[in-house]
């Protein structure tokens, strides 16, 4: 078995300019499939509120549910880096964030992900200083859907673009080890990726981020309805789920995915 992926593995990929692949998993079977197909990062996403529970947002997801799924994923994982989403309002204060991040780490997470901007710097510092690796999620942060008024591309005008670059730098300085950029114009994602030393993982953020992530059910064509622009069905041209996941990893490493058709322009 290949050596387990750590935060240093992702930093090396960035230094070498080698793109890496991430996927969500919510259970042991998917975690096993994804990690044994060469995916470097598994995300236990709060998207499970939509994908598994059928809600129309991620807001109803609880800490108890995230802990349950994190335990299951940790059992099936074959050496990928395990990142768990902190659910809506589980990091409303720094004290809450420390307690809830500790629970996720005890359940088998190796890093926690938080959605937000400059207001999170103290919380990220506190987690980082106490040994909890942090991923900061910027751009379309689904926990803010009610503030955004929908799932809309973020950072389209130059003012908001510059603000997002500043936020990425602030969060990195606070201790963020990885940054996720969701639904931002490809040129802005490229600027942010260059501006920070931390590995940047994109979803709907173009081909120039350090890594890519998708919801695994989306890339297998299982999600009902019209998929977002950034989704590609990799099962359509594969003979099995395992082959589809391998095709995704291969396409990401070769920077063949995402193509223009999966990206947003300014």
Ligand X SMILES: Nc1nc(=O)c2c([nH]1)NC[C@@H]1CN(c3ccc(C(=O)N[C@@H](CCC(=O)O)C(=O)O)cc3)CN21
- Binding site members for 3-methyl-2-oxobutanoate: 46-47, 85, 113
Do the beta carbons of residue 162 and residue 205 sit within 8 Å? Answer: no
DSSP state of 258: S
Of 88, 84, 59, 91, give the one whose Cα is nearest residue 69. Answer: 84
Quick one: which of 31, 33, 43, 50 contacts ligand X (CB under 6 A)? 50
Among 172, 182, 208, 210, binds ligand KIV (CB under 6 A): 182
Residue 151 contacts ligand X per CB under 6 A: yes
Torsion of CA 79, 39, 144, 106, to 10 degrees: -10
100 contacts ligand KIV (rule: CB under 6 A) = no
For ligand KIV, give the closer residue by CB, 47 or 110.
Answer: 47
Axis-axis angle for helices 28-36, 63-76 (nearest 10): 50
- Structure token digits, residue 157: 């005008």
Q: Which two tokens stand for residue 104?
A: 């996720």
Query: Three-class SS of residue 67?
Result: helix
Shortest spacing between CB 98 and ligand X, in angstroms: 25
Residues with catalytic roles: 182
By CB under 6 A, residue 65 contacts ligand KIV: no
Q: How far is the CB of 226 from ligand X (least distance, A)?
A: 8
| Helix, strand, coil percentages, rounded to 5, for the chain | 45, 15, 40
Site for ligand KIV in 194-223 (CB under 6 A): 203, 213, 215
Structure-block tokens of residue 231:
């989704």
Determine, following the binding rule CB under 6 A, whether residue 85 of this chain makes contact with ligand KIV: yes
153 binding ligand X? (CB under 6 A): yes
| Stretch in the footprint of ligand X (CB under 6 A) among 2-10, 146-154, 157-165, 246-254 | 146-154
Q: Which of residues 108-137 bind ligand X (CB under 6 A)?
A: none
Give the integer Cα–Cα distance in Å for 259 and 44. Answer: 25
The binder of Mg ion chosen from 20, 36, 40, 85 (CB under 5 A): 85
User: Is residue 45 near Mg ion by the rule CB under 5 A?
Assistant: yes
Rounded Cα distance between 202 and 37, Å, is: 20
Q: Check residue 221 for interaction with ligand X (CB under 6 A).
A: no
192: Cβ–Cβ under 8 A, 6 or more apart, which residues?
138, 164, 165, 168, 179, 181, 184, 200
Site stretch for ligand KIV (CB under 6 A), options 43-51, 74-82, 91-99, 244-252: 43-51
Choice between 192 and 213, CB closer to ligand KIV: 213
Question: 133 vs 142, which CB is nearer to ligand X?
Answer: 142
Nearest to 209 by CA among 183, 235, 175: 183
CB of 1 to ligand KIV, least distance (A): 26
Binding site for ligand X (CB under 6 A): 47, 50-51, 58, 140, 142, 151-153, 183, 215, 217-218, 223, 228-229
Binding site for Mg ion (CB under 5 A): 45-46, 85
């Amino acid at each position: 078995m290949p050596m387990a992926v750590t935060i240093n593995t992702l930093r090396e990929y960035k230094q070498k300019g080698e793109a890496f692949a991430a996927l969500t998993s919510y259970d042991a079977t998917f975690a096993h499939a994804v990690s044994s197909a060469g995916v470097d990062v598994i995300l236990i996403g709060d998207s499970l509120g939509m994908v598994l529970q059928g809600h129309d947002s991620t807001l109803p997801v609880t800490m108890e549910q995230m802990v349950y799924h994190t335990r299951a994923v940790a059992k099936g994982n074959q050496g990928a880096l395990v990142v768990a989403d902190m659910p809506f309002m589980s990091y409303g204060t720094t004290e809450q964030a420390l307690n809830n991040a500790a629970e996720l780490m005890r359940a088998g997470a190796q890093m926690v992900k938080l959605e937000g901007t400059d207001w999170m710097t103290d919380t990220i510092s506190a987690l980082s200083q106490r040994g909890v690796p942090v991923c900061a999620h910027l751009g379309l942060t689904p926990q803010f859907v009610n503030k955004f008024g929908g799932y809309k591309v973020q950072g389209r005008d130059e003012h908001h673009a510059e603000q997002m670059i500043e936020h990425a730098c602030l969060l990195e300085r606070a201790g963020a080890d990885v940054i996720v950029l969701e639904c931002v114009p490809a040129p802005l994602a490229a600027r942010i990726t260059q501006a920070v030393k931390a590995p940047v993982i994109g979803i709907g953020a173009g081909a120039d981020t350090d890594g890519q992530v998708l919801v695994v059910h989306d890339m297998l064509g299982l999600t009902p309805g019209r998929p977002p622009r950034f989704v590609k069905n990799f099962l359509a041209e594969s003979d099995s789920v395992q082959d589809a996941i391998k095709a995704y990893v291969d396409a990401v490493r070769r920077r063949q995915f995402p193509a223009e058709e999966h990206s947003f322009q300014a």
